[in-house]
Amino acid sequence: MQLHDKIFEVFIEAKELDFAIQNMANNIAADFKDDVLVFIGVLNGSFMVLTDLMKHYQYPCEVSFVKLSSYEGITSTNEVKQLIGLSESLEGRSVIIVEDIVDTGNTVEELKRIFKEQKVKHFKIATLFFKPEAYKKDIKLDYVGIRIPNKFIVGYGLDYNGLGRNLKSVYQLANTNTNNNMINIVLFGKPGAGKGTQAEFLKQKYNLTHLSTGDIFRFNIKNDTHLGKLAKSYIEKGDLVPDEVTIKMLEDEVEKNLDSKGFLFDGFPRTIAQADALDAFLKTKDWNVTATIALEADDEILVQRLLERGKTSGRADDQDVDKIRNRYQEYNEKTAPLMDYYKEQNKFYAVNGIGSVQEITEKLSTVIDIL
Ligand code: IMP
Ligand code: MG
């Protein structure tokens, strides 16, 4: 099934949705049937859930709606706006917020803030779908229909850029990309070797999805996610983040870009265990690592480059010579053996990383063009 540019496949059938909603209605009734509840649907997504929930909830209650929006395309914009507020007073009332899906939790946080001002008696949250891995808040969700992995879904009220809300079942992005024309490149290089700079050029030139574990970590740290807090404690010491955290995060990013022409892995894998995990994961998609390219440069030149970068980037891990050397030591101990791992598979290429940005891009392109 196609919506705009993307292909979707059935993920959860209508019957299963109905069963989950019936369960939610029963649980709500068990807690509140003696109260006259006010159910408040959060538009647009929750119109289907609320409709079916009401068919299963057969006790006196009221129904109302608010409209909020926090999404553009398939990634959360991290910003919640209230579009249409409440007209009636809810003071002293028991309120059940009805959501189609809770993702980061920005929306429920905003709702909680709004309803606190209303002096309601009870404030409960019911959501058909919940993505525990994406959730960043501590607010308890009182009634959850179905827990799902951190994947983009449509149907049953949920949309992809406006389309798909009227579908009776729920769909997920299909993996239509089983071709082996993909170019998946692993870029190696010590911190400061210019991986990030070169990756910018290569992703444009070859239409690749650039996945930098450093960038993904920093994004999570900046947004203070669970993963971010965890990663921060390691990065600040100059240590590597544990494999299982890194691998999970990276897989999530690949899952979000299943229609990609190829991936440029930057900063990953850094250990043999990670390389094994990456191979195993790519295999589940019928893909593989096409090549690994190392940007080689002398340690002393790199230390100077990093200290320069630290002056302007503000990155704590770039400002301290000991921490930098600690990262090089990690690299030599854990990452260097990886080169042998890929050499054995005839996938390893090395490029001299000293020279102008353009010269190095050209050398890298020469390697990629013959793959
Ligand atoms: P939150 O504020 O990040 O919890 O996001 C909640 C809103 O994001 C939902 O009401 C949806 O509009 C949208 N959303 C989150 N995940 C999905 C999805 O997988 N498909 C479609 N919309 C989604
Ligand atoms: Mg919604």
* Average pLDDT along the chain: 87
Same structural domain, 37 and 98:
yes
Ligand found nearest the CA of 71: 1
Closest CA to 102 of 44, 55, 165, 144: 144
Distance, in Å, from the CA atom of 114 to the CA atom of 130, rounded to the nearest integer, reads 21
Would you name the residues annotated as active-site residues? 195, 270, 309, 315, 327
Nearest C-alpha to atom 22 of ligand 1 is from which residue?
Answer: 158
pLDDT in single tens digits along all 371 residues of the chain: 899 988 899 999 999 999 999 999 999 999 999 999 999 999 999 999 999 999 999 999 999 998 875 444 444 445 545 556 677 789 999 999 999 999 999 889 988 888 888 889 999 999 999 999 889 899 999 999 999 988 899 999 999 999 999 999 999 987 665 555 789 999 998 878 888 889 999 999 999 999 998 888 888 788 887 778 888 888 788 787 788 788 888 888 898 888 889 999 998 898 888 999 999 999 888 889 999 999 988 888 888 888 887 788 777 777 788 888 888 888 888 777 899 999 999 899 999 988 889 999 999 999 998 88
Cβ–ligand 1 distance for 107 under 6 Å, the answer yes
Number of domains in the chain: 2
Protein residue whose Cα sits closest to atom 15 of ligand 1? 103
| Among candidate residues 351, 82, 96, 2, the one with its CA nearest the CA of residue 201 | 351
What is the whole-number distance in angstroms between the Cα of residue 124 and the centre of ligand 1?
19
Atom of ligand 1 nearest to the CA of 80: 2
142-186 pLDDT, tens per residue? 999 999 988 899 999 999 999 999 999 999 987 665 555 789 999
Both 217 and 324 in one domain: the answer is yes
- Is 274 domain-assigned? yes
DSSP assignments along 161-183, one per residue: TTB-TT-SSEEEE------S---
Choose the residue to mutate in 103, 135, 150, 171 for probing ligand 1, maximizing ligand atoms within 8 Å of C-beta. 103
In a domain, 350, yes or no: yes
pTM: 0.57
Mutate to test the pocket of ligand 1, among 47, 67, 82, 101 (most ligand atoms within 8 A of CB): 101
Nearest CA residue ID for atom 9, ligand 1: 101
CATH code of residue 300: 3.40.50.300
Which ligand sits nearest to residue 47's alpha carbon? 2
Supply the range of the domain harboring residue 281: 185-369
The reported pLDDT for the residue numbered 73 is: 46
Distance CA 260, CA 207 (A): 8
Residue 178 maps to a domain: no
Ligand 1 pocket test target in 11, 68, 76 with most atoms within 8 Å of CB: 76
Identify the CATH number of the domain in which residue 109 sits: 3.40.50.2020
304 belongs to a structural domain: yes
CA of 47 to the centre of ligand 2 (A): 9
With a 6 Å cutoff on the Cβ, whether 127 touches ligand 1 is: no
- Those residues with Cβ within 8 angstroms of residue 11's Cβ, 6 or more apart along the chain or in another chain: 148, 151, 153, 169, 170, 171, 172
Domain stop point among 110, 141, 173: 173
Tokens 């998609």, residue located: 285
* Whether the CB of 153 sits within 6 Å of ligand 1: yes
**Residue 266 in domain:** yes
Ligand 1 in reach of 104 Cβ (< 6 A): yes
Q: Does the residue 179 lie in any domain?
A: no
146 and 208 together in one domain: no
Q: Contact, 293 vs 349, CB < 8 A?
A: yes
Residue with tokens 């009805």: 98
Count Cα atoms within 13 angstroms, Cβ side, for 299.
9
Count the Cβ atoms, other than its own, within 10 Å of residue 217.
Answer: 22
